[in-house]
Structure 1
């Protein structure tokens, strides 16, 4: 551990951190451009083969950026996409961004530092940063946006230059240090540990936009919401938003353990995916699923929370009620969806595409987290050196909730600055899925 990292871990104040030099390199989880073809012809694209943990050069800061000493991060499915080089190697995203020239050119490297979640301490600020200072405790929102684009000022997610940080940009959060724009920063909730805080931004922000925001399904009291993958990272936050909003959450899971976890995070009912004949087509699976939903709650879902993709999308369109909504992102089982358009068109259903969250939406999520109304979905944490194994867990869908990765934090349980709130909320209730 370098001197700056040691000072951060020891809790040095900002004025001391400013005097300690930034190291020339740092340890990061990354892919290498030279490995992009290693899975050609392979049945199992095991991410442990492509994810490297080692030193990379420290980038310089742009005026609107900050350097963060990453105390903890987390695995998201986009890490799996990057590590399998599927559907395209993420180096293509870095090259496209670099064509802008200037500071963007730094991102085109023969390595790609991954990670779209992070919690840590600001250790340097660019010349144009006003609202953040060295020593601040922050979490990083995923949307990397261009404030010179007009669309960004209406909804940052609609800007043509909006990118997923750590997936479509370099220098992400699965590392000892990370570079982010100041417009991505949110104050860390004081009652959470580093790893708990890092498990929130991407999945909770995405679920909030999909379900609660004016840009998504805009759920209301009494809405029946079907949640695929209800025990995963996205699903665990979706269930909480539905419960908090007075809706009825029906989760779909694939094991008894995941059913118990989904109920713990706010689902009113769970349905075992293993009882559905998904391979027999959307109509067959949809009738089976619809019957089980009606047995549980007496009516069809107003909203279907869809992020599984190819394997479930046709069933989602089928099972939503007349006039209902399917809100979709991600597509972990494949992007090419098939569905019977009669059930969309003739029954007046809607499909809403959703992606990430803008800073206002992330801020609203952070407020709910800071009040203790939304609980981190963290289940297990790995050290940085074992991040490839953590990613493999997500790749194989063997995880529950969010899988955390410690960065510079030497152990779990550190980073709490509001122990009174933590005690008031109840230590055991803060991370219901933690093993």
Structure 2
């Protein structure tokens, strides 16, 4: 461990941190370029084989960049794509970036440090950084935007050079340190723990842009919103945003256990898709849309005006079918496959719209973190792993053995560290903040009785690491 990281853990001041040398090497989770192709012909592409934890070189930083001591990071599905080298190996992104001058060439390495969500403490700033200083406690936006690209002044996501940090760039959050542009930094919500704060931005801000922002579906009060995968990272935040905005979420889940978790979040209308008689082909059955549509109308009496889509191939045909006349299908991904099939008659003849939504801009990331600071939306963290088990954490997401978000403790030595003040946590009611591991805050729990206890999750874990893990601490 480095002296600088130890100083951050001990709460050293910004002046003290600035006087300690930046280490030349640091611990991180990474993939290796020489292992591209290792999964060819294999049905189970186990990411634990391709994610390694070891020391990597500390890069030189550009004038507009900062080094952050990462206290906690999170696993997103783009980490899974990176680790299985699909749909293309992310080293192709690093090679392309490497042709853009010395700042890009730093990223084109034989290893790729992963991770697109994190929280920590600024320990170095570049010569051109104006608004951030050493010692600042921050969360990191994974939207990597060139501020000299004119498109970024209309909307950061319209910049042709926009990249997903930690996926299309190197030096991501799964390490004791990371390198970020200054316009990725956001003030950390003071009352959250490191693992809570570092697990939100990518999914929460993506959902915010899709539903609330001016570039997405622009949800209004009373809108019925179908939310696929409502206990996943994206879906769990989408449900909260719909409730906060006066909409009516209809959550689709894959088990009764997950249905209970969504109900505890305050969502009254839940469909367990395993209980639908979809027949051969499941959700890709041509009749699946009709069967799902009937289930939705039984719940709320009408078709959804917005469909929150990120699953892709398995669900997209049904999504197009069930949206009401003039409805919107807003999509940000395809975790079950990129090639979608749907009956176009139900799109054009019923005047529906498909909205492509990718990531979020800096303003949207700041706005969604403001909602966390206000206690209006809550982290949906279900489990934390140490950095040494980054492969295990990613495997849990790869195999859907998780609920909400999965965190990785990097510089933090245990869960529960990081709140600047306990009073702030007390000011957020327990039913709003979350009823325990894997349970988002129940916005209407006070109207529906106490939230039931959280069932244990069963993601892959080593017995030794589980036994050594400290108990979860949640201050009321």
- TM-score tier after normalising by the smaller chain length: over 0.9
Aligned position for 1:335? 338
In the TM superposition, 1:283-298 aligns within 5 A as 283-298=286-301
Q: Equivalents in 2 of 1:94, 1:412: separation in Å?
A: 33
Aligned position for 2:116? 116
Note if 1:224 corresponds to 2:227.
no
User: Deviation digits for residues 232-267 of structure 1, max 9, x if unmatched?
Assistant: 000000000000000000011111221112222342
- Select 1:392's aligned residue among 384, 391, 395: 395
Aligned position for 1:318? 321
Which runs of structure 1 show a deviation greater than 6 angstroms over 4 or more consecutive aligned residues?
A: none
| 3-state SS, counterpart of residue 283 of structure 1 | coil
Give the length in aligned residue pairs.
435
| 3-state SS, counterpart of residue 305 of structure 1 | strand
Q: Equivalents in 1 of 2:205, 2:435: separation in Å?
A: 19
Q: Equivalents in 1 of 2:195, 2:366: separation in Å?
A: 19
Q: Equivalents in 2 of 1:342, 1:224: separation in Å?
A: 22
| 3-state SS, counterpart of residue 106 of structure 2 | helix
Aligned position for 1:170? 170
| 3-state SS, counterpart of residue 96 of structure 2 | helix
User: Deviation digits for residues 76-121 of structure 1, max 9, x if unmatched?
Assistant: 0000000000111000011111111121110000000000001000
Contact 1:282 1:312 in 2 (8 A): no
In the TM superposition, 1:237-386 aligns within 5 A as 237-276=237-276, 277=278, 279=281, 281=284, 283-386=286-389
Contact 1:261 1:433 in 2 (8 A): no
Aligned position for 2:70? 70
- Select 2:407's aligned residue among 404, 407, 410: 404
Aligned position for 1:424? 427
Q: Go from structure 1 to structure 2 and tell me whether the alpha carbon gap of 1:69 and 1:150 turns closer, same or farther (over 3 Å shift).
A: same
User: Deviation digits for residues 110-139 of structure 1, max 9, x if unmatched?
Assistant: 000000001000000000000000000000
Contact 1:226 1:303 in 2 (8 A): yes
Q: CA deviation at 1:378?
A: 0.7
Q: Go from structure 1 to structure 2 and tell me whether the alpha carbon gap of 1:266 and 1:105 turns closer, same or farther (over 3 Å shift).
A: farther
Q: Equivalents in 1 of 2:162, 2:435: separation in Å?
A: 33
Which sections of structure 2, spanning at least 5 residues, go unmatched? 439-476
Q: CA deviation at 1:302?
A: 0.4
Q: Go from structure 1 to structure 2 and tell me whether the alpha carbon gap of 1:330 and 1:266 turns closer, same or farther (over 3 Å shift).
A: farther
Q: Equivalents in 2 of 1:407, 1:427: separation in Å?
A: 27
Q: Equivalents in 1 of 2:25, 2:73: separation in Å?
A: 19
Q: CA deviation at 1:295?
A: 0.3
Q: Go from structure 1 to structure 2 and tell me whether the alpha carbon gap of 1:14 and 1:428 turns closer, same or farther (over 3 Å shift).
A: farther
Which sections of structure 1, spanning at least 5 residues, go unmatched? none
Aligned position for 2:456? none
Q: Equivalents in 1 of 2:218, 2:154: separation in Å?
A: 18
Note if 1:2 corresponds to 2:2.
yes
Contact 2:385 2:409 in 1 (8 A): yes
TM-score, length of structure 1 as denominator length = 0.98
Q: CA deviation at 1:162?
A: 0.4
User: Deviation digits for residues 47-87 of structure 1, max 9, x if unmatched?
Assistant: 00000011111111110000000000000000000000011
| 3-state SS, counterpart of residue 369 of structure 1 | helix
Contact 2:375 2:432 in 1 (8 A): no
Deviates more, 1:112-121 or 1:257-266: 257-266
- Cα RMSD of the aligned pairs, angstroms, is 1.1
Q: Equivalents in 1 of 2:355, 2:232: separation in Å?
A: 21
Contact 1:249 1:266 in 2 (8 A): no
Q: CA deviation at 1:282?
A: 5.1
Q: Equivalents in 2 of 1:265, 1:358: separation in Å?
A: 27
Q: Go from structure 1 to structure 2 and tell me whether the alpha carbon gap of 1:292 and 1:401 turns closer, same or farther (over 3 Å shift).
A: same
Q: CA deviation at 1:429?
A: 4.5
